[in-house]
Amino acid sequence: MSHIIPIGADHAGFALKESIINHLQKKGFTTQDFGCSSEESIDYPDYAHPVSEFIESHPGSLGILICGSGNGISMTANKHQGIRSAICWKKEIAALARQHNNANIITLPARFISTEEALEMIDVFFNTDFEGGRHQLRVDKIACI
């Protein structure tokens, strides 16, 4: 398991990404920022793919993606066979994404949540374990290969 948390965002998620990086670093986590670097319009797949590839090459790692709605960047990440990206908008959803789905990327909809809500979800996501058991049977059926 990598102790580095990869994070990526499009322009709509740039400011939230910066707040999350600051929050995680204050808690002693190491982050790897895959971009973007401003609020200038960019294409979310350019940031979803590198974060997803990092997670796939570091088994047991967890990452963060952010875009305006959460949809586009999550759809892109979920094209990777080793990724289970969950769009979260409440801390309860973030907990269930880990407990029941073994999500390895939390995706946040920057235009629909506050920074405070995002930081709460990040804390829950990174402090919640997968329950396994009956949930593992379901997770095993997700991949198409």
User: pLDDT tens digits, residue range 3-41?
Assistant: 899 999 999 999 999 999 999 999 999 999 999 999 999
Q: Does the pLDDT value for residue 145 go beyond 80?
A: no
Domains, the chain, with CATH or none: 4-139 (3.40.1400.10)
What residue type is assigned to position 20 of the chain?
I
Angle at 30 between CA 5 and CA 131, to 5 degrees: 45
Q: Does the pLDDT value for residue 49 go beyond 80?
A: yes
pLDDT digits (tens, 9 = 90+) for 68-110: 999 999 999 999 999 999 999 999 999 999 999 999 999 999 9
Is position 100 annotated as part of the catalytic site? yes
Q: Does the pLDDT value for residue 136 go beyond 80?
A: yes
Q: Does the pLDDT value for residue 67 go beyond 80?
A: yes
Q: Does the pLDDT value for residue 1 go beyond 60?
A: no
Radius of gyration, CA atoms only, the chain: 14
Helix (H, G, I), strand (E, B) or coil at 32: strand
What residue type is assigned to position 45 of the chain?
P
Q: Per-residue confidence at 2, pLDDT binned at 50, 70, 90?
A: low
Give the model's pLDDT for residue 4.
96
Do 15 and 39 meet the contact criterion of CB atoms below 8 Å apart?
yes
- Among the listed residues 11, 36, 67, 88, the single catalytic one is 67
- Among the listed residues 23, 49, 58, 100, the single catalytic one is 100
| DSSP track, 50-110 | HHHHHHHHSTT--EEEEESSSHHHHHHHTTSTT--EEE-SSHHHHHHHHHHH--SEEEEEG
Q: Per-residue confidence at 133, pLDDT binned at 50, 70, 90?
A: confident
